[in-house]
Structure formats: structure tokens, C-alpha cells
């Protein structure tokens, strides 16, 4: 069910009529979401106009599909959707008021949304984006991270107890537990998966078996990405950034001093290597070489919890 409205995010107001065109335009660049209802677009290193969402619900994550679609999840069952590159947003009504912490999309497949006790999946209509959602959560398990292969079938989730869950054949199955796990990523082909948290662990069989990588002791990571060739990037506490290659070798660097909660790089084996990282304090960082070097971008004014790119290069 969808309601287009002035983007007042309180659950009790989700049925209000009307709509609002926010900002000066959509698409392109990095789309940042976070605390206090913050949604900002950074394109070409410049900060776009603020998107007045009408409330201060925390927005935890953003994930995009195709060239113009994006989904955003947040506190108290908040789920937002755009099909025109972010020029106009609508509120999707889910049968929950739980905090939604994570989501993942597949261009030709389902959208997955999860949070405190809930795990929803649904296949959006190509033209309208409307979804009939199926709830697979048990009401207790709290999910903090989700990843889905863009060109494969692998879908993995992390719960707050470090458990790794797999979505297969319409069901959720608990596969293993990795102590300190906080985030998961899957390569586009679905073969390689990375778990980040108290260190890094990698799977080359779609999440069945896992091997620890030699990350610096004591480094805590909050977000991670991985490419088809097994190389990737992770960010975390106190500005930690780690690049790792297909052989599992890890190169550490530091970008600023604030905790980095999220990052996105368009690709490592492709020619498009632009990416973003951000976290506490709202300072954004921009890379043009896949994470080898970073430049300070604009400050978006609130703690950033999620970032993605609408259009080419989305996760």
C-alpha cells in the first residue's frame, strides 16, 4: 500500500493525503540519510538542497534499484520510495511500527526490509513500484544488516547477536554465528560475501563457510562492500578504512577521526570508482579511485547512517 503525502513520517500520519516535491532535482551523486530525518544529496562534491521530510524520524538506510528507484527505511516502520530519481517521495505502509534498520534490493528481484523482530520481502511492480509484502520475522530477532546479490540469488542478513541468516526458497535460515558481526555485503554474482564488525570474515561459497581476514586487532567496522573478484572495502570506528584484495590481504588507513557508519563505492572492477563514506558529525568523504584516497566533502548536518547512489553505480 502506498500513500503519497507531504512526507510527515510519524506512523499515525501515514494515511494523510497529498504529496510534496522535495529539493531542486533528483538522481546522481551520493544520497545520505541519517538522524533527525536527514536526507541530503551530494553531487559533484556539492551539497544539494535539504529535503524537508516534515519530521525527525531517524533514517537508517537507503538502497536503490534501476536508474531512478530508491528505498529508505527508518524508525517506527518508516519506508520511503522514489521512482523519479528522488524528485518526489512516497510513504509505503508496512504492517509494523518496529524500527527498520536495513534493506537490500535486487534490480530484477525482490526488495528486502528488516529491523526489530521483522523481515519483509516483496517483489515491486516494475511500473508502479507497489509491493505485496511477506513478513518472515519471528517478532524477536533484531536484524541490523542485509545484503542481496544483484546478479545472483544469495541473500544474507546479520542479527544483533552476530548470527548470519540466509534467505532461501522463501524462508529464513540461521547459518552460523560470527562474534561481533555488524554488517554484511555480497558480490554482485552472489559468490563472495563479507562480514564486518570486530574484524573481517569472508565467504567464497555464498555464506556457507567463512574465513577470518588479517585485519588490525581491535578495529571495529560498521559497513562493508565486496566486488565479484573478491576485493572490497570496509569502514568503521575512529575513521578506520580497510581495503582488501582477492587474496585476503588487508591495507588499513584512516579517514578523519569520527566513527564512519556507512560507505558506498560504485565498483572496483568497473571504470566507475566514485564513492562516499560518512558517519558521526555529518562530515562526508569522497573517493574517485575506489577507496585509495579520500577528499573531504560537504557536511550534511547530521549523523549519517546510510548512503547509496541513485542510477548507475548503486549497490
On whether residue 24 sits in a domain, the answer given is no
The domain that holds 254 is classified in CATH as 2.130.10.10
On whether residue 314 sits in a domain, the answer given is no
Distances (CA, A) of 282 to 19, 31, 110, 203: 28, 13, 31, 32
Q: What is the residue range of 117's domain?
A: 2-18+30-308
On whether residue 181 sits in a domain, the answer given is yes
pLDDT at 94: 93
pLDDT at 312: 67
Which residues does 232 contact at the CB level (< 8 Å), separation at least 6?
Answer: 185, 194, 224, 225, 226, 243, 244, 268
The count of structural domains within the chain is 1
Separation between Cα atoms, residue 227 and residue 229, nearest integer Å: 5
pLDDT at 6: 36
pLDDT in tens, 33-63: 999 999 999 988 999 888 777 678 999 999 9
pLDDT at 68: 87
On whether residue 23 sits in a domain, the answer given is no
Model confidence pTM above 0.75: yes
237 φ, ψ (degrees, to nearest 5): -65, 145
pLDDT at 13: 32
On whether residue 25 sits in a domain, the answer given is no
Which residues does 251 contact at the CB level (< 8 Å), separation at least 6?
Answer: 242, 243, 244
| Spans of the chain, pLDDT less than 50 | 1-25, 268-271
Amino acid at each position: 500500500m502506498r500513500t503519497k503525502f507531504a512526507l510527515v513520517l510519524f506512523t499515525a500520519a501515514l494515511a494523510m493525503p497529498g504529496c510534496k516535491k522535495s529539493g531542486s532535482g533528483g538522481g546522481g551523486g551520493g544520497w545520505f540519510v541519517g538522524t533527525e530525518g536527514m536526507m541530503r544529496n551530494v553531487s559533484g562534491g556539492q551539497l544539494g538542497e535539504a529535503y524537508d521530510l516534515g519530521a525527525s524520524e531517524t533514517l537508517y538506510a537507503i538502497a536503490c534499484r534501476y536508474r531512478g528507484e530508491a528505498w529508505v527505511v527508518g524508525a517506527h516502520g518508516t519506508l520511503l520510495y522514489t521512482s523519479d530519481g528522488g524528485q518526489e517521495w512516497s510513504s509505503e505502509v508496512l504492517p509494523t511500527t518496529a524500527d527498520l534498520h536495513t534493506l537490500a534490493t535486487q534490480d530484477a528481484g525482490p526488495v528486502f526490509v528488516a529491523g526489530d523482530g521483522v523481515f519483509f520481502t516483496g517483489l515491486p511492480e516494475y511500473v508502479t513500484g507497489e509491493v505485496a509484502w511477506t513478513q518472515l520475522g519471528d517478532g524477536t530477532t533484531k536484524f541490523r544488516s542485509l545484503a542481496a546479490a544483484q546478479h545472483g540469488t544469495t541473500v544474507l542478513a546479520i542479527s544483533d547477536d552476530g548470527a548470519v541468516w540466509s534467505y532461501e526458497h522463501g524462508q529464513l535460515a540461521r547459518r552460523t554465528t560470527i562474534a561481533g558481526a555488524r554488517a554484511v555485503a555480497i558480490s554482485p554474482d552472489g559468490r563472495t560475501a563479507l562480514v564486518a564488525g570486530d574484524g573481517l570474515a569472508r565467504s567464497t561459497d555464498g555464506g556457507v563457510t567463512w574465513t577470518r581476514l588479517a585485519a588490525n586487532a581491535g578495529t571495529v567496522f560498521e559497513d562493508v562492500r565486496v566486488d565479484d573478484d573478491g576485493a572490497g572495502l570496509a569502514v568503521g570506528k575512529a575513521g578506520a578504512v580497510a581495503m582488501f584484495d582477492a587474496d585476503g590481504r588487508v591495507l588499513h588507513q584512516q579517514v578523519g577521526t569520527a566513527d564512519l557508519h556507512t560507505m558506498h563505492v560504485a565498483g572496483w572492477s568497473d571504470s566507475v570508482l566514485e564513492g562516499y563514506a560518512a558517519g558521526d558529525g555529518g562530515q562526508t568523504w569522497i573517493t574517485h579511485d575506489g577507496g585509495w584516497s579520500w577528499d573531504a566533502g560537504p557536511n550534511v548536518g547530521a549523523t549519517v547512517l546510510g548512503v547509496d547512489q541513485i542510477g548507475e553505480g548503486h549497490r
